[in-house]
Copies of this chain bind each other. A is one copy, B any other.
Amino acid sequence: MRDTGMGAGLGGESLLFLTDEQLRQGIEAMFFAYRGFTADPDRILTDMEYGRAHHRAVHFINRAPGTTVNNLLNILGVTKQSLNRVLRTLIADGLVESRVGHSDKRERHLYLTDAGRALEQQLSDAQRARMRTAFREAGPDAVGGFRRVLEAMMDPEMRRAYARLKENGT
């Protein structure tokens, strides 16, 4: 762990800091913030035939074009049957394209079509706008802390998936 990196002088203070009340406030902050986080895309999606699951699929396909169903499954943390229902409608509506794997024909590689990219853009614009406002309001210093705490809150497996996507984007 990185506890030692905090310096000995902070030991007492950090213990004092983590009162039950502070932790409870952190929990509630996560709850309320996540609501805000999903509110804008949700509004857009309900007008269409889609839900939050479609948003997630579109987001990560855009993020890692050519990804396989199995890979997407691990990232999203749902069963393949659940994902498949979503993918089926997205493919039927011409937002996602599924190409049979070249080397392994069992695999399907997923890509956004132009229409899919347009939807992703619309959804992500709304979500990024809120994130941008929040980052600006909280100040540059806060953003690092925000990201560090969130990363530490992830399950190790998800943490690795997150890191892989970060590299992807660079």
Residues of A within 8 A of B (CB): 1-3, 5-6, 10, 13-14, 17-18, 20-37, 39, 56, 59, 63, 77, 124, 127-128, 130-155, 158-159, 161-162, 165-166, 169-170
Contact = CB atoms under 8 A, between A and B. Distances in A.
B142 A35 contact: no
Nearest to A10: B140
Contact of A136 (B3, B134, B146, B159): B3
Contacts of A31: 56
18 contacts: A2-B139, A3-B136, A3-B137, A13-B140, A17-B135, A18-B135, A23-B132, A24-B128, A25-B147, A26-B146, A27-B131, A32-B158, A36-B153, A130-B153, A133-B152, A134-B149, A137-B148, A146-B146
A164 B25 CA distance: 11
Nearest to A169: B21
B132 A18 contact: yes
A30 B150 contact: yes
Nearest to A24: B169
A80 B127 CA distance: 28
A58 B70 CA distance: 36
A28 B138 contact: no
B17 A140 contact: yes
| Shortest 10 CB-CB contacts between residues of A and residues of B | A145-B145, A142-B145, A33-B150, A134-B152, A138-B148, A146-B149, A137-B152, A134-B153, A29-B150, A32-B158
Contacts of A132: 18, 23
Contacts of A35: 77, 154-155, 158
